[in-house]
Amino acid sequence: MVSVSVTGSVTPTTVSTLAGKRILLGISAGIAAYKSALIVRLLKQAGCEVRVVMTSGAQAFITPLTLQALSGEPVRTSLLDPEAEAGMGHIELARWADIVLIAPATADLIARLVHGMADDLLTTLCLASEAPKLIAPAMNQAMWRHPATQRNVAQLGADGWQLIGPAAGDQACGDVGPGRMSEPEAIFEAVTRHFSATPLTSNSPHVVITAGPTREALDPVRYLSNHSSGKMGYALAAAAVAQGARVTLISGPVALPTPAGVTRIDVESAEQMHQEAMRLAPEATLFIGCAAVADYRSASPAEHKLKKQADRDTLTLTLIKNPDIIADVAALPAGKRPMVVGFAAETQQLEQYAHDKLNRKGLDMIIANDVSQAGLGFGSNDNAALLLWRTAQGTEHRLEAPQPKTQLAQGIIRQALALLSF
């Protein structure tokens, strides 16, 4: 899931990347539909051809006339338009698109897409089009977290859809949490990355990456966690896609958009992350454990909110160890074990602790960073790292100076992919 700079501008490089690309933009019902106008504008500024398809509910939030004025093309709203369908217009439109982009996508639309429904123009186009498909969910935080929505989103990823977001924050209903549609600039960036990424082939490595923090519940409203923002893991995912890998990102709760071309699986706890990692690792070429996984969890999370006791100044919690994800992946038998890269976030004796973790957990490579340095590591856009990896002659290392996480990620992925060839 790389941190996207929201500038609202289109650079000359972006224009050359997107010039002449045909974008079919689908808009479903939701307050975020008003942001779709800016998406159209950004795409047009970059030289794209844009055609818009709206569901009936979307028209309650923004008018077709507005989008027609911005796109310069008629807006399609009905599957049963006699004039458009005289020449099988929905099939022609499906074949026309270089990509299908849906923003916003409601929980209802996502559910219908998963089940292959074709009960309106937009869902019919999605079934009929063989173009790559990107989708930006937008809904209430409770709807997003619902198990049915999470199952549907996971299935969309398995079907080849690329998720963009959602983001977290204030929502129109007054709630706060994940489910906000990613900002138009982030969606535009995802489209740009899609067209600039190296195409996948049958020989493309499958890279599985864990990212972000985990949350270990203490009661229904409190949890143990850490300061990880997920930026490093998401930067690694974007860098791996750019270098021609097929990428699956197992993400803890973060407020970052999914990088274009990445299949994202959202988890909360260390046990959930462990389950997904062990399911995916045997089919992976490279496994990168970048997540800041909680070492311990509550032995028995309270069923109801823990109340403050007036006669007690202390609270005792019993914690138990979480599974060691990176060690368990590294311990897989030959034939099922990918190359394993771990991370070590330290505050002292960086090289010594990194060597120890590399050997103790049986890793092939480790990236160690000093999280005590101001402006680096957790939550920041920059990082520095010590890279150590195994060779036939022993252990080699390289020190990476402070730099943007996106740039550091590219160097890490290049080194890891180079080791695969030995």
Binding residues for CTP: 289-291, 295, 305, 323-326, 343, 357, 361
- What torsion do the CA atoms of 41, 42, 46, 49 make, to the nearest 10 degrees? -50
Residue 158 burial by Cβ neighbours in a 10 Å radius (0-12, 13-18, 19+): exposed
Residue linked to tokens 């009929």: 128
Which DSSP symbol is given to 139?
-
Q: Which of 173, 176, 221, 418 is catalytic?
A: 173
Q: Which two tokens stand for residue 300?
A: 């028995």
Contact 75, 53 (CB under 8 A): yes
Round to whole Å and give the CA distance between 257 and 181: 9
Cβ contacts of residue 13 below 8 Å, gap of 6+? Answer: none
Round to whole Å and give the CA distance between 148 and 298: 26
SS3 call for 349? coil
Cβ contacts of residue 22 below 8 Å, gap of 6+? Answer: 48, 49, 51, 96, 97, 98, 99
Round to whole Å and give the CA distance between 143 and 145: 6
Round to whole Å and give the CA distance between 46 and 20: 9
Which DSSP symbol is given to 106?
-
Is position 48 annotated as part of the catalytic site?
Answer: no
> What CA–CA distances, in Å, run from 332 to 284, 321, 392?
12, 20, 21
Q: Residues 35, 36, 41, CA angle at the centre, nearest 5°?
A: 105
How do strand 319-321 and strand 296-298 relate by DSSP bridges?
antiparallel
- The H-or-E segment that residue 274 falls in is helix 270-280
Of 215, 214, 278, 287, the closest CA to residue 249 belongs to: 287
Q: Which two tokens stand for residue 69?
A: 């004025």
Kindly list the catalytic residues: 173
